[in-house]
Amino acid sequence: MIRCLVVDDEPLALDILTDYIEKIPFLQLVAATTSAFEALAIAQKDEVDLIFLDVQMPELTGIQFLKIINGRCNVILTTAYSQYALDGYELDVTDYLLKPIAFDRFYKSVLKVQNMAQGNVTVTNTKAAGNSLNTYIFVKIEHRIQKIYLDDILYIEGLKDYISIFTRSERIITLQHLKKMEESLPAGRFIRVHKSYIVAIDKIESIERSRIQIADKIIPIGDTYRDGFFKIIEDKNI
């Protein structure tokens, strides 16, 4: 169950999102408020998993709110102004919903959160995940944000406080933990195989004992991840 908090200074927007949340079995509404400060107090008590956050509010803007909670939980921005999308991605929001919010777009967004939450233990069907999730991610690189298409990713290597994303044509380095990246990727397409590696399942060329080959790279399969990895491979009839 994903515990939700809705914060928006417009009562009508609160009512719409509250109604949407009540229609989805895996969502639970913890609170809905027009006060950013009340929402902040709730978020800082670790009582919620997901916040639907308006950007333009009189007491505290959504961007300021994001900076204060600093990644404490998943956040989906809700606003009528598309220019705030880039700010949101820079602060690692899960998604961005443009008002007026249609239910199908809302459902697609929360399904992404559910898949992220289950990423450690459940791998969804690849085709289903491909239909319900984005085809790209944004990563921050120094003073810019770069779009990376999921189809281009071969594997990801974690190195202390940063990760290297290896694509068909380049290596992209970003300050982020591997765990955070794992949670943002669709589980049906990517899998953690080692404490330092995530691989794109469809880019695997061969598997020999405890080693995976992708392009010219040999990637070890860690003991902790071995059973889960081979079960997924068997399920895909590789």
Confidence of residue 72 (pLDDT cuts 50, 70, 90): confident
pLDDT tens digits along 114-126? 877 654 323 333 3
3-state secondary structure the chain: CEEEEEECCCHHHHHHHHHHHHHCCCEEEEEEECCHHHHHHHHHCCCCCEEEEECCCCCCCHHHHHHHHCCCCEEEEEECCHHHHHHHHHCCCCEEEECCCCHHHHHHHHHHHHHHHCCCCCCCCHHHHHHHCCCEEEEEECCEEEEEEHHHEEEEEEECCEEEEEECCCEEEECCCHHHHHHHCCCCCEEEEECCEEEEHHHCCEEECCEEEECCEEEECCHHHHHHHHHHHHHCCC
Q: What is the pTM (predicted TM-score) of this model?
A: 0.52
pLDDT tens digits along 95-139? 888 889 999 999 988 988 887 765 432 333 333 333 334 578 888
Check whether 90 has a pLDDT greater than 70.
no
Check whether 86 has a pLDDT greater than 60.
no
Question: Which domains can be identified in the chain, with CATH numbers?
Answer: 2-117 (3.40.50.2300), 126-235 (2.40.50.1020)
The whole-number average pLDDT for the span 193-199 is 95
pLDDT tens digits along 1-48? 999 999 999 999 999 999 999 999 999 999 999 999 999 999 988 889
Confidence of residue 140 (pLDDT cuts 50, 70, 90): confident
pLDDT tens digits along 163-179? 999 998 899 998 888 88
